[in-house]
Amino acid sequence: MPTSEELAQWDRQHCWHAFTQMAEYKSLIVERAEGVWLYDTQGRRFLDGVSSMWCNLLGHCHPTINAAIGEQLRNVSHNTSLGMGNSTTSTLAKRLADLAPGDLQHVFFASDGSSAIEAALKMAFQYWQQCDSPRPKKTKYLALGQAYHGDTLGSASVGGIPRFHALFAPLLFEVIRVPSPDCRQEAQVYLDELEQTLAEHHEEIAAMVLEPLVQAAAGIVFHRPGYLAGVRELTRRYDVFLITDEIVTGFGRTGHMFACEAEDVVPDFLCLGKSLTGGYLPLSATITHPDIYAGFLGSATSGRALMHGHTYAGNPLAAAASLATLDVLEQEQTIETLPAKFEILAEVLERLSNHPRVAVTRQLGLIAAVELTPTDESHERYPAELRIAYEICDATLSRGVWLRPLGDVIVIMPPLTITAEELRFLGDVLLESIEEVTSAISTAKPVERS
Ligand SMILES: *Cc1c(COP(=O)(O)O)cnc(C)c1O
């Protein structure tokens, strides 16, 4: 058995971590986990405060999900989805079709969220090229400012966060963009602007893509109520498909099974990922309705089949984890228990917001953000060089809570199974850490919040 020092050394030397400055990376190596708790190779335990990057839904090592994966392993680990099916994967497809809003019922599986978005983009494109009344000019996409839809080149093209995407601009395709409907103005202002853009460009737009209710990677930016329903109305009126990216919001995090349900919206493509397997194995899904699906049907030589796919699509181990996740959601009535937890998180945020260095807190369901200010003015922030949110999250780690911020924004997004006591612990640790870090840098020169 390698020692904890050896593992740290191998990790730093050979394991290139995503979105991590390796020159400054301090090894943190998880060995096992249970419920909301991660245990590292040194025997320390810490609360998984952002659900292992927003994907763990029901805690780690849930006995039902573990057992389902084990059972599947005894049958078959993987068989291709090209020209054949798998009993577990087909059962999951049927289950997702039943769960999805409206008549969404044709499920295309891939392994990552980015790939679910890629598939939706390409399906929309191919549909307009070959459907019964083709619209070959529809080759562009409409997306929101500050959008994040993944890191492959197609999903990054529809993304709009300069910090992630600007460098790669020469590689990305052109996208028509409307501003992120953050809470600075009424929903109608953004909808009016969207309508103008659609009126001008709808003939060339294949689809609009958006993260419903919350743009997570943008820094937990919430939308005004009514925006999503308004977008659905306008995209329908202008014959533009609507792709909703529920890779973060799916499976209860906002209090609804899917965020679209908050505004009774049925998109043309629903993209799921992250929590689809409870956060256990890589699986994503792009779900669409019969009208679009029909555009791909024809004889084997018609050239109409979807020309896209991945080797491990619909992997049965992942599908088994996903079916078990849906079972647990039902059996434990997880979503029904959430409103009480939302209240507790609201109390935690209320306490945090009383700290003089906390500028704003915001929350939707079990998704929350905390931002800081060096002064008593909530519109001012710490200079970026101080990496204030990272410093605070380093401090929470030493107290037993793992959080990963987005730039200046501290994110709280725990598994839905977190208990009231664990939520309060997270809040106490964060408050102490904010106090410790901000009192040590009392001389920071404020910068205007953008
Ligand atoms: C994480 C994320 C993706 C990308 O999913 P991957 O599995 O990382 O490829 C896409 N959209 C949103 C909203 C996400 O948060």
Tell me the pLDDT of the chain (450 aa) as tens digits: 999 999 999 999 999 999 999 999 999 999 999 999 999 999 999 999 999 999 999 999 999 999 999 999 999 999 999 999 999 999 999 999 999 999 999 999 999 999 999 999 999 999 999 999 999 999 999 999 999 999 999 999 999 998 888 899 999 999 999 999 987 899 999 999 999 999 999 999 999 999 999 999 999 999 999 999 999 999 999 999 999 999 999 999 999 999 999 999 999 999 999 999 999 999 999 999 999 999 999 999 999 999 999 999 999 999 999 999 999 999 999 999 999 999 999 999 999 999 999 999 999 999 999 999 999 888 899 999 999 999 999 999 999 999 999 999 999 999 999 999 999 999 999 999 999 999 998 766 778 776
Give the pLDDT of residue 443: 67
Atom of ligand 1 nearest to the CA of 55: 1
**399 CA to centre of own chain:** 27
Q: Residues 6 or more apart from 166 whose CB is under 8 A from it? A: none
Give the pLDDT of residue 40: 97
Q: Ligand 1 atom 12: the closest Cα is on which residue?
A: 149
DSSP H or E segment with residue 192 = helix 187-201
Give the pLDDT of residue 444: 65
Give the pLDDT of residue 282: 98
Domain ranges of the chain: 4-58+335-448, 65-331
Atom of ligand 1 nearest to the CA of 217: 15
5 to 2, 13, 289, 430, 439: CA distances (angstroms): 8, 12, 52, 29, 33
Whose tokens are 């003939």? That residue is: 203
Q: Which fold has domain 65-331?
A: Aspartate Aminotransferase; domain 2 (3.40.640)
Give the pLDDT of residue 298: 96
| Distance in Å, CA 214 to ligand 1 centroid | 13
* Alpha helix (H) residue ranges in 354-417: 388-398
Give the pLDDT of residue 450: 63
Q: What residue ranges line ligand 1, CB within 6 angstroms?
A: 112-114, 117, 148-150, 211, 216-217, 245, 247-248, 273-274
Question: DSSP readout, 336-355?
Answer: HHHHHHHHHHHHHHHHHHTS
| Distance in Å, CA 113 to ligand 1 centroid | 5
Secondary structure letter of residue 19 according to DSSP? T
Atom of ligand 1 nearest to the CA of 282: 7
CATH class of 4-58+335-448: alpha beta
Token readout for 447 is 């910068």
DSSP H or E segment with residue 377 = none
Give the pLDDT of residue 280: 98
| Distance in Å, CA 210 to ligand 1 centroid | 12
Give the pLDDT of residue 184: 86
- Alpha-carbon gap, residue 412 to 107, rounded angstroms: 31
Given ligand 1 and candidates 17, 149, 153, which is best to mutate, with the most ligand atoms within 8 Å of its CB?
149
